[in-house]
Amino acid sequence: MNSLDQTDIEILKLLQENAELSIKEIANKTFKSNASVHERIRRLKENGYIKKTVAILDRRLVNCNLIAFCHVLLNNHASKTLDSFEKEVIKFPEVMECYQMTGTFDFILRVVTPDIDAYHDFYRNKLANLADIATVQTFFVLSEAKSETAYPL
């Protein structure tokens, strides 16, 4: 993969802050031509630096009020078991993130639901029904001091 120069980094910073910026606006902010910025963005996408462009919603306005972090321990750590768990758990729309971890638990899931009743339904009827789960320990978010999507560059 090609390395990033300072202009590429500045373009990525700008797009992380506001992906709706036009080519012209980015060109003005980076003191580059429209054609140069357009080509750079195309290359950044082609090389995988920009995976996709999305809108970040206010979770409360779309009824995703409860955030839970589920620590999951599996019965065994065979590759097939780990792969199977991942394949199944990412199908659940409530699961926003899934990370395989080191330490006491095998996975951490970030789960969003409208409320505790919906989480209970998710837990009993989806998560707990997956094969090879030994333990699930859930932590509910009380408040959110910081939530960023932009990576420091």
Q: Can you give the pLDDT at residue 36?
A: 97
Query: Could you say which of 1.10.10, 1.10.3470, 1.10.510, 3.40.1000 is the CATH number of the domain covering 6-46?
Result: 1.10.10
> What's the CATH number for 66-140?
3.30.70.920
Q: Are 17 and 150 in contact (CB under 8 A)?
A: yes
Using the predicted structure, report yes or no on whether residue 1 has a pLDDT greater than 50.
no
Using the predicted structure, report yes or no on whether residue 125 has a pLDDT greater than 60.
yes
Question: Which residues make Cβ contacts (< 8 Å) with residue 10, sequence separation at least 6?
Answer: 29, 30
Cα separation of 95 and 130, whole Å? 14
Q: Can you give the pLDDT at residue 113?
A: 98
Average pLDDT over residues 91-119: 98
Closest CA to 142 of 65, 72, 70: 65
Question: Which residues make Cβ contacts (< 8 Å) with residue 56, sequence separation at least 6?
Answer: 149
Q: Distances in Å between the alpha carbon of 32 and those of 19, 65, 116, 128?
A: 18, 42, 51, 54
pLDDT digits (tens, 9 = 90+) for 88-100: 999 999 999 999 9
Q: Can you give the pLDDT at residue 29?
A: 97
pLDDT digits (tens, 9 = 90+) for 45-80: 999 999 999 999 999 999 999 999 999 999 999 999
Confidence of residue 2 (pLDDT cuts 50, 70, 90): low
| SS3 (DSSP) at 96 | strand
% residues pLDDT > 90 (the chain): 98
Annotated domain spans of the chain: 6-46, 66-140
Tell me 69's DSSP state: E
Confidence of residue 31 (pLDDT cuts 50, 70, 90): very high
